[in-house]
Structure 1
Amino acid sequence: MYDGPDISSLYWPNPAVDVFQNERTNYNSSRIAVLDETGHFQSSDRFQFDASDRGLGIKRRLTMDQDGNLRLYSLKKQSGSWVVTWQAFPGLCNVHGICGRNGICVYTPEPKCTCPPGYEMSEPTDWNNGCKPRFNFTCSKSQDVKFLALPSTDYYGFDAIYNGNASFNFCRQACLDDCSCLGFSYRESQRWCYGKSLLFNGYKDPSFPGTLHLKLPISMVASLEQIHNGSNPNCSAAGDHSAEGSLTMYDTTGKRVRWTYLYWFLSAIGAAEILIFFSGWWILFRKCNAQSIVGDGYHAIMSQFRRFSYGELKSVTQNFKGEIGRGASGSVYKGVLADERVVAVKRLGDVYPEEEVFWAEVNTIGRINHMNLVRMWGFCCEGKHKLLVYEYVENMSLDKHLFSGNIVEWRDRFRIALGMARGLAYLHHECLEWVIHCDVKPENILLDKTFEPKIADFGLAKLLQRDTVNSQFSRVRGTKGYMAPEWALNLPITTKVDVYSYGVMVLEIVRGVRLSNLVVKKGKTKEWETELMVFNREMKRRIQFGEDLGIEYLVDKRLKGQYSRKQARKLVEIGVSCAAEDRNKRPTMASVVNQLLELDDEPNLPKSDHQD
């Protein structure tokens, strides 16, 4: 719980669901929890997790840090430093109350606090007190009020649900008519409308599908710049608690004490009723849980992630028949589990010669969950047999649609570009581990039945820790045509290699052809260069001198003019900047998401949009 001086808010594991949906239980009075010497944690309310370096001989400590995040640390003997091996929130902005009332937590890419437009810090050195408005709000007439859109931003909780299936105009008017409404959150795809009576637990996340519309006086001049960049250098990153002004939770005195006594009094009344039930459950739980710990080893929280036997996967794939894909890391087969889930089973070759490397990869991948990433359901590790079990994505890979006779409509192309950016931004900025894909290409972008993209094969490259500046990969990964120049130059590999690959793909999405495969003769010397190099050079020249990009000549002719010129121009500009040879000039994926979200609601037909 976040329990401040005047507000209480549940924030972990998942505030959107109840106790039992969180795989917890309140049918106990012992509150026993044990972190054993192997790095396995389990408690009497069924919650459990494992350190990423699970094993004997390592000193560990479990700490509720000042920023409100629960973390498990392991002591590295050689350096004498403590390293995070598990934490409750991979993204620190999910910790409720971290930036105070009205404050917003943003990733830049490290988490920072900022105030929304029209607001300023209550105290310049203390985010506990959040932000205060620079205006006085009374129950004004609608003509005195305006709304400022903050894409991918939300304040969790304190919602007035005006309508579960509302139009944008209905939602806007409902907030105007409600004097207590400070703004509203609207999700176009689900038509969900939430009025905000209090701006608390604010965060900006590229993966959040909604937009916050902040109510401001019509005379207020406000900019989104502070939301994009963050404004407080004292809002420290996860794990750094030494800097003055670092993130802290609110003082938990006063009301918390009174509420605590009330909770315990009510618990005592119900204790007699649940004693018999709890005793029987606890005996059964201990017996079953002891068997599962020995059998599975690793457990992923709030998922169906589990360990499979080789015989089980051999059976569900009918002895590995029906190959649906093949790549550098192994072959993929379609299978159906006993619970009727359709899965894709990747049978790995010699990619993981050492078992501890495999375990590290699996432990990381199993905890990653995002709508634009292919979900991993489990694994198998029996001697030389190493397999990964993923969700099955039914609509094949992007290359099967984009480079074939099929016509991918412009709306789907833009959604694919945005979804890919969201997935990569999550891997680069929000995971506990810093995950670099290293092989972003159309073959690794799968499409579900609604053409929502899901990135496959992430996590199969060697992982880099956030504090490892000079780390190098032992082998070159990637596909020719999508590989960044630093691979050939033997430079340190960073997330910018994925940004480069994304840029190539975005340009291919616009043009509908493989730029990586086409080559042209250069002058009379008969030198050859890729179409991508020629295209980038020409587009950079036009952008630099402010010339017309000639969008009508760049976009896939199969669309027959049915596309948004603004969106097409933006994708070309993003693609060129992402595919820059100098990696320092490439943007981050989080900034790419922000640029695309600004045009997400643009009309797709040229008759509604005639200007570049």
Structure 2
Amino acid sequence: MANSLFTLLVLLSATYFVAAQRRTSNSISQGSSLTPTGNSSWLSPSGLFAFGFYPQGNNTYRVGIFIAGLRLNKTVVWTANRDDPPVSSGVTLQLTPDGRLILQSQDSTTDAVIVDQSISSASMLDSGNFVLFGSNQEKIWQSFDHPTDAILPGQILSQNQELFSRASDSDYSTGIFRLKMQSDSNLVQYPVQTPDTAPYAYWSSSTNNQGVNVTLNLDPDGHLYLLNNSVSILKNLSDGLSEKQRVYLMRIDSDGILRLYSFNLGRKDNISSIVWKSSGDKCSPKGLCGLNGYCTLNDDEPKCLCPPGFDNVNPGNYTAGCKRNYTADICKNSEQRIQYSMRALEYTWWENDPYLVLKMKIKEDCETSCLEDCNCEAAFYKDGECRKQRLPLRYGRRLLTDSNVAYIKVASPTRQIETPSHSRPGKKKEPRLSILIISLTLCALAFTVFVISGYLAYRNRIWAYKKISAKGNFELMDDIAPRSFTYAELEEVTNGFQEEIGRGASGTIYKGKFNDKLVAVKRLENMLAEGEKEFQNEMKVIGRTHHRNLVRLLGYCHDGPKKLLVYEYMVNGSLADILFDPQNPPRWEERIRIVLDIARGILYLHEECETQIIHCDIKPQNILIDEYRSAKISDFGLAKLLKADQTNTYTGIRGTRGYVAPEWHRNMAVTVKADVYSFGIMLLEIICCRRSVNLSLSEEEAVLEEWVYQCFEDNDLAKLIIDEETDRKKFERMVRVGLWCILDEPSLRPSMKKVLLMLEGTVDIPAPPSLSSYLTAI
């Protein structure tokens, strides 16, 4: 009974659509024409849809169907001859007297739509369907039967029909992804030019062999579903909505994700919203980064990278993939041979297409085996198997939960190995005596240059110190706001540097009093080496930063080798002083406020101040607490400034053991994500009121981040809570944020802006990667 009722409703719906299309059509007769710059489109009766020219590029156009009822843009739903070049403004679209729909220019004539019969008229319907009629007013062609990358309400994707993505958001030619309604009743997404088999699929409806003649359908209310031959719904992809003044559109986008869009015609901005999408993982479409490239997520956005030894084919088009940045001579014998080495990429995989699979217990054996095999250009090791492959590599992806290790063969820095001269016929040995004389002469010359350079450098350094001592105070005043002090003044302010209140990596801090105001005076040490550099950094950084969660610099002394900084005094000491006090730990709400204060301060350094700054030494000892119990970030002696167009830097290891991000130890480019890692460690310390490493505890609990991971995986966070007032929901949110911040891969860590949003509860926080993948990473 239910099936019969549903069948009746579907038939009535179909009858309604046919009737509606007949009632709401404008007839386009033979002889009608359009031009890109004149009458450019034929509208549907309500003006919602149009068939005609739309712009693509600079003064070039395409022909297609678009939603004309949107005020701010033309959302294209169908394109004619999409892989032909765009046409110029001098072309004409005409329904000719002999019944052809053509694009005509001075040089050529092209059919916009090819049909077997003569076209007597055409109509742009309010459903978005463009229809051509024959001499007896019978329908001989309609756009709904020939979809490109989208379907509209009332349109179906039939068995064996496909949608193909665009090349990009602004290029409507055929892209690199496709959606197919297969004859086995499964709706599947693939890369283009691949077989319809499971290894190439990256999303499916999982409805294979569950019906006959299954179609994909979209209703006017946004209901997206699969319908089988028995006129019953096989699977709902999205439920219908009762909202009015909306038009829906399902499209496979250029990034390979299938999305259902809703446009509110009643809004002035006509901004679309996404009702449903096939995947929330933007790296899931296979082939997004082209041949040899691989995809990684950065704040949920896809980023295409090239493996070691490769560069982008086209830096402006990441889908073009990567190519070697050297000329390989694999398996060639020559006098000048390239020396190769192997570079490892953890958690990274490409399509499994090996020419040889070996069983190996140790992954280093896989690396060695590929290096010694001239046919091997990459090797993948996982679960005791070594899979050797040749280029190109396809469908690359980095995923922290995948234990695969990829080994890429690259040219070593010493590119050429010369064949020894004695092995070459016709070459005479050079006299050894001549070589010895030349070598001794060069050594003597080098020694002389070294002595002279050393003397000049010494004399220049002495002169520089005298110049700084005489003029430094006046020159620095032009660039920064803090006051200039003499060394004698600061010696008096601190009463001869008697009361030491702290000691850090870059100097000692003393308590002082100036004009009845308490100050903290930091005397930098190691003046001739790091002290000079640290002093200049701290002057530049703190002198230009102004934020309620940063310690204020009041003054400085630059008296030759004597360099000191004067800060506002923090009466409550450092965060370490109050956090690790077992007798009187800060209350839960105070700990949350401190966390938010620190996050806002780091966000200011990363994104809001004039010069982007990586602090490089975020830890509880460098977080000071003022009289109002607000947290302020201090000690910029190790800070790294980035230029306006710079996002990363290479520099020596900075910071404090236990808070230093893994990339510091791997000679990788360091970004602001290094501070995110340090913040994550400190966040776990703050909410748990304990140090990150405490060897007095059991082995299981000694390392805080591992202990937190274990408790999170076991769904037993109660073990970490130290007092009853702790808000358990907020505590879990803080744990999730901390675990995301300390991920081994920098690109997977959130930005400080997103960290703050997650801490404040503005955005949802997905579960961080599992403990097993984290332990694999470390």
TM-score, normalisation: structure 1:
0.45
* Higher alpha-carbon Rg: 2
Which protein, 1 or 2, shows the higher relative CO under an 8 Å CA cutoff with sep ≥ 6? 1
Higher strand share: 2
